[in-house]
Amino acid sequence: MQLKNRQFSQNNSPKNSHSKLSIKSKLTMATCALLQAGTQPAQAEGDEWEIDTAMLYYSEDGRVSVFEPVISAKKEIDDDEFLTFKLIYDTLTGSTPYGAAPTDSVQTITNPSGNSNYTTAANELPLNSTFRDTRSSFSAGWSIPLDRLKRVTMGANISKEYDFSSVGTSASYAVDSIDRNRTYSIGISYSSDKWDPIGGKNPELGYMIDGESSSPQNKGGTDTKANTDLILGLTQVINRSTIMQFNLGYSNSSGYLTDPYRYISIVGADGRPLVETGAPTDAFPYRYEKRPDSRSRNTFFWRTVHHLTEDVINTSYRYFTDDWGINAHTLDFKYRYELGKGQYLQPHVRYYTQTAADFYVNSLTAGEALPDFASADYRLRDLVTTTVGLKYGINLDKNSEFNVRAEIMNQSYNVDNLIGEQNNQDIAPDLDAIILQFGYSLYW
């Protein structure tokens, strides 16, 4: 589910906010159409409010479950002048990996807060079952026409989690060609995020210390990061049946980009875990991760919507690259098949692939010099995600629609650079998930 504070861009904790970004990145692909009902029900003349509601349930096999209600509203307050509002509330529970690798022996691991432990059986991927979090997010936008061809939109948002908060603002400008067949747009957004990790900020690349240990552990307090996004867009009407959209995006994040809860196994040359020579007496064989303090991202997005006699084909492609070494491709296909009497079916297929970050590691080897940066976060692996689903919608009357969507998702990982005993372990088991969404749209 990657991605906090996605405002206009295309772009992806319990006490363990680390996996929040993971869940959000998954939710991004799981809810990309959360408030889009395809073709909306025919709007009644004189209606002033457009209300969209949705309930999303996302569940990973043996891991995290997410329940997310969403409500958005749009009101025309003058000719072509609109106010929009959106409220989201997430509840996340379950088990999630933090970076430790499976071994042929039992592992007892300290929670990131340092105040408790959990045990994982031999030959199993360590999962922390204490994952809990809620998130509340509110955003608002104001779209104003400057004249017949030009308009500006301004927005603001706020998001709050147990140990993370964010405030942001955005603005965009769009202009149509004289014949109204082409639209050029530019947008910019900025957000300021604050981490307040449970138990304090863990030292980057420092040892994970048992919460009951007398060994000293220097922990930090809060920390911040800033995010700036820029997007250029072109929408072109090709003919009466086809429209295309092109976007170029640039994003920059700076500040504290390390996940404060994630850690990495320390192993010997044979791949077995151990405490490094010279480590504190009570140290566990793990170190916390460390990421660069800046990240630049570039995206290219293309979408084509083609209207057949009755049905609609919606196809898109997205390319992503960043200076962490990740390159990603996303193909998305939807086919809306009209059943008649205000009903439709919409099959959906999504395929996503990415390369690993330059500093991704399966583990750190005892006795070797520490790298500048390192992370065992599975979201930074070389991976492939496939999503297949079906959506059904029905117009209840001329002012409302009900829809339901069901999808299955599989995420698999390409694993290399294993050493010794690690070759006998399933270092990165596939992740399977189901996605259910119920939506209701109303013009009022």
pLDDT in tens, 226-281: 999 999 999 999 999 999 999 999 999 999 999 998 999 998 888 876 644 444 43
Task: Name the one residue in this structure whose structure tokens are 């939109």.
Answer: 153
Give me the residue label for tokens 């990131």: 112
Question: CB under 8 Å to 117, separation ≥6 — which residues?
Answer: 108, 109, 110, 111, 210, 211
In terms of Cα–Cα distance, which of 194, 196, 195, 202 is closest to 114?
202
| Coil, strand or helix at 146 | coil
pLDDT of residue 47: 52
| pLDDT over 60 at 190, yes or no | yes
pTM over 0.75: yes
Top pLDDT among 436 and 46 is at 436
The tokens of 318 are what?
């997205």
**pLDDT above 70 for 425:** yes
* Residues 49-63: tens digit of each pLDDT: 999 999 999 999 999
DSSP string, 314-328: EEEEEEEEETTS-EE
- The whole-angstrom separation of Cα 398 and Cα 439 is 16
Q: Are 441 and 401 in contact (CB under 8 A)?
A: yes
d(CA 393, CA 356): 38
Q: State residue 353's pLDDT score.
A: 98
**Mean per-residue pLDDT, 406-418:** 95
Look at the block and give the residue holding tokens 């099959």. Answer: 347
Is 18-443 a domain of CATH 3.30.465.10? Answer: no
Per residue in 79-109, pLDDT tens? 889 999 999 999 999 999 999 999 888 888 8
More confident residue, 355 or 422: 355
In the predicted structure, residue 284 carries a pLDDT above the cut 80: no
Residue 21: strand, helix, or coil: helix
What is the model's pLDDT at position 122? 86
Mean pLDDT of 320-346: 97
List CB contacts of 116: < 8 A, sequence separation 6 or more.
110, 130, 211
Q: What is the pLDDT of residues 285-310, one digit of tens each?
A: 889 999 999 999 999 999 999 999 99
Taking 80 as the threshold, does the pLDDT of residue 219 lie above it? no
Which residue do the tokens 């995020």 mark?
193
Integer distance in angstroms from the first to the last C-alpha of the chain? 32
